[in-house]
Every structure is written in structure tokens, then in C-alpha cells.
């Protein structure tokens, strides 16, 4: 995938995540920054130094690959020391820095072990130690947790964030996992087809997407076409196929504009009495999931997804009449034009 017109600045000490589907260009961009992929136009700077023409080992960066890329015939300490040996660091200093790097990733005493004796999480820590031992100005991670099971991914993302923040590392992290990105990042860039669609904090990306593509990729949402019927300085009234709703996110739109409403399933709540902005429908299906219940509700000719948090009953019967409300802050208005 060719990346196109990328203009990106990452602050010192920031943990920045490139998020997007497979083939969107995020790994290509990361490899270009690392020096493994050529740059046909533009430039790359690390700590104000132009590194565009420099080889990978002269960019003051450390990279952790998706496959870990450990040498199976070398011991743990030998794997970690490899980059220092390439830089012709003195043997005594290599020993001290390897021991420190293994301690930093909670692998003290593992230096003499074989790589194939380690668990997936331990191998990931060795890969991190190898990147950290060269004392990089920036750390580059390419889908570093994709080969781990779900439980280990959760614990390792916390460990990676701890290490990056403890050492003040400027970190660029690539993933296609939305929850992983939201959990670990200071800021996120959502990519599609070689371009960056939106940059923001995890909360901004999830709660205030600026396009249909971002809203659809990050989490789950309901899309409803509508039109602005009234507006004040703080709120707009929207008529849509499900009914009349109020939004606080429509400052860019005028009365009469066609818009697309994006409402997350967990933002709806069931209510007993009807008030303004109440949607009335019929329950199509209900699935009890313990901490949540996933409902499908028909309102007029459309169906929407509703997630009930901490449900008090094991399920609601299909065909049951129901009323829903959503807070104006949770009704996100987007341009109505078609987006891929």
C-alpha cells in the first residue's frame, strides 16, 4: 500500500497509535520511518534530525516486529545484545546494558535461557528489551501483540505503556485492534487507503468521529439519515426516520442540511415514560451476555442495535414495545455524503 500526503508530528514522549484495517498503509508508514521502506517524496525527521537517507541502524530508533524476529539459535542475552554488538559497544558495557534491559521488562535472570523455552509473552518482552537496549530516541512497534492470546494481549499492552512512559519514549505503535488502540494510546491516527482520516485522543476518536468511515471502524454504531429542522447556538434538532432527536455536535450544519446521525448502541437507554426526543419501537431480538445485553429494536422501517449495560433481567421478549432515549451529547452528526 502506498501512503499519500501524510503530514504527521508526534510529540516527544508521546505514545502514538496508527490504527486501521489490513492494507491501509500503516505498516508501510512505520517501515518508512524505520528505514526499511524507501521514501519517494517528502522527508522524515527524528528529534529534528533529517533521517530520510539514513540506514535503519543510524536512525536512533528501535523496532519491535509482529513476529518478534528473535534469533532461535541465540540465548536471550545474546538476542538482546545483538544491536549493541552491531554498534561495536564495549563488552563490559554490553553486559551491563543487557542486564538492565532485561530487568526493565521483568526478565531478570533469563539471559541464559533459550528463546524456544520462553512463552509468547516472554518472547515479546525479549523483543522489547532488544529494542530498548540501544537507547532509541523513538520506539516503533508493528502489531506487537497480534500473536498473543487475548488475556496476554491485555496484560502486555499495559506493560508496554508502562515501559514507554517510564522511560519517556516517543513511541509509534501500529495495530488494527480498536480496543488495543484506545487502551494504550495518548493519540490515535485512523488510516484508510494510505491516508489519515482523523487524529485525536482515544475519547475524541470514539465519541467525536468526523466521518462515517471513522465511526464505522472504531467500535460499533448506528447510522441514521436525517435533516436539521431547528438550531440554536448550543443545540440542533434533527428529524430522522426514527423520530426527532437533539444533538450538541451540529455546529457545522445549518437548518435544512442533510446529515448522518451516528449513535453508539450503548448510548441508548430504555425508559418507561415518554418525554421529548423519545423513540418508540418494538424489540426484535435480545441476547443476554452477562455484563451487557444486546438488543435489536425496530423503529418504523429501520432497525437499530441497543446495548443495555448491567442488565437486571436475563432478557426481554421479542415483540415487546419499548421506548428509548439518547443524550444530545451522544448524537453525533456527520456529513451525509457517501464515504467508503
Taking the C-alpha atoms of residue 115 and residue 325, their distance in angstroms, rounded to an integer, is: 55
Q: Strand, helix or coil at 53? A: coil
pTM of the model: 0.89
Domains assigned to the chain: 15-215 (3.40.50.300), 221-335 (2.40.50.140)
CA distance 223 to 338: 12
Q: Which helix (H) or strand (E) holds 259?
A: strand 258-263
1 CB-near residues (< 8 Å, 6+ apart): 23, 24, 25, 28, 193, 194
Measured CA to CA, the distance from residue 175 to residue 177 in angstroms comes to 5
d(CA 262, CA 265) in angstroms, rounded, equals: 10
Joined grid coordinates for residue 302: 429501520
Residue 115 DSSP symbol: G
Which pairing describes strands 321-325 and 269-271: parallel, antiparallel, or unpaired? antiparallel
pLDDT by residue for the chain (340 residues), tens only, comes to 678 889 999 999 999 999 999 999 999 999 999 999 989 889 999 988 999 999 988 888 988 888 888 988 889 999 999 888 888 899 999 999 999 999 988 899 999 999 988 988 899 889 989 988 988 889 999 998 887 888 888 888 888 898 899 889 999 999 999 999 999 999 999 999 999 999 999 999 999 999 999 999 999 999 999 999 999 988 999 999 888 999 999 888 999 999 999 999 999 999 987 677 889 999 999 998 888 999 999 998 899 999 999 887 667 888 999 999 999 999 999 998 755 4
61-91 pLDDT, tens digit per residue, is: 988 888 888 988 889 999 999 888 888 899 9
Amino acid at each position: 500500500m502506498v501512503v499519500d500526503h501524510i503530514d504527521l508530528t508526534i510529540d516527544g514522549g508521546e505514545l502514538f497509535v496508527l490504527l486501521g484495517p489490513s492494507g491501509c498503509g500503516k505498516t508501510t508508514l512505520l517501515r518508512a520511518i524505520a528505514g526499511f521502506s524507501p521514501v519517494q517524496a517528502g522527508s522524515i525527521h527524528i528529534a529534528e534530525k533529517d533521517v530520510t537517507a539514513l540506514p535503519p541502524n543510524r536512525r536512533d530508533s528501535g523496532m519491535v516486529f509482529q513476529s518478534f524476529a528473535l534469533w532461535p539459535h541465540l540465548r536471550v542475552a545474546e538476542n538482546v545484545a545483538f544491536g549493541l554488538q552491531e554498534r561495536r559497544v564495549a563488552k563490559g558495557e554490553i553486559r551491563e546494558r543487557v542486564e538492565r534491559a532485561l530487568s526493565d521488562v521483568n526478565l531478570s535472570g533469563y539471559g541464559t535461557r533459550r528463546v524456544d523455552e520462553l512463552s509468547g509473552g516472554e518472547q515479546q518482552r525479549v523483543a522489547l528489551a532488544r529494542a530498548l537496549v540501544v537507547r532509541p530516541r523513538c520506539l516503533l512497534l508493528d502489531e506487537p501483540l497480534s500473536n498473543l492470546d487475548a488475556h496476554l494481549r491485555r496484560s502486555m499492552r499495559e506493560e508496554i505503556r508502562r515501559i514507554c512512559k517510564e522511560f519517556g519514549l516517543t513511541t509509534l505503535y501500529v495495530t488494527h485492534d480498536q480496543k488495543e488502540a484506545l487502551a494504550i494510546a495518548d493519540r490515535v491516527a485512523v488510516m484508510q487507503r494510505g491516508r489519515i482520516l482523523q487524529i485525536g485522543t482515544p475519547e475524541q476518536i470514539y465519541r467525536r468521529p468526523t466521518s462515517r468511515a471513522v465511526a464505522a471502524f472504531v467500535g460499533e454504531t448506528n447510522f441514521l439519515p436525517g435533516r436539521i429542522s431547528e438550531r440554536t447556538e448550543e443545540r440542533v434538532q434533527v428529524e430522522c426516520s426514527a423520530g426527532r432527536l437533539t444533538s450538541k455536535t451540529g455546529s457545522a450544519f445549518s437548518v435544512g442540511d442533510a446529515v448522518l446521525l451516528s449513535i453508539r448502541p450503548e448510548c441508548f437507554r430504555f425508559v418507561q415514560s415518554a418525554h421529548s426526543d423519545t423513540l418508540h419501537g418494538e424489540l426484535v431480538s435480545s441476547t443476554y451476555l452477562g455484563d451487557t445485553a444486546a438488543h435489536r429494536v425496530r423503529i418504523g422501517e429501520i432497525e437499530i442495535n441497543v446495548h443495555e449495560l448491567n442488565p437486571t433481567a436475563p432478557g426481554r421478549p421479542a415483540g415487546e414495545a419499548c421506548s428509548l432515549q439518547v443524550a444530545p451529547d451522544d448524537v453525533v452528526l456527520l456529513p451525509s455524503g457517501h464515504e467508503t
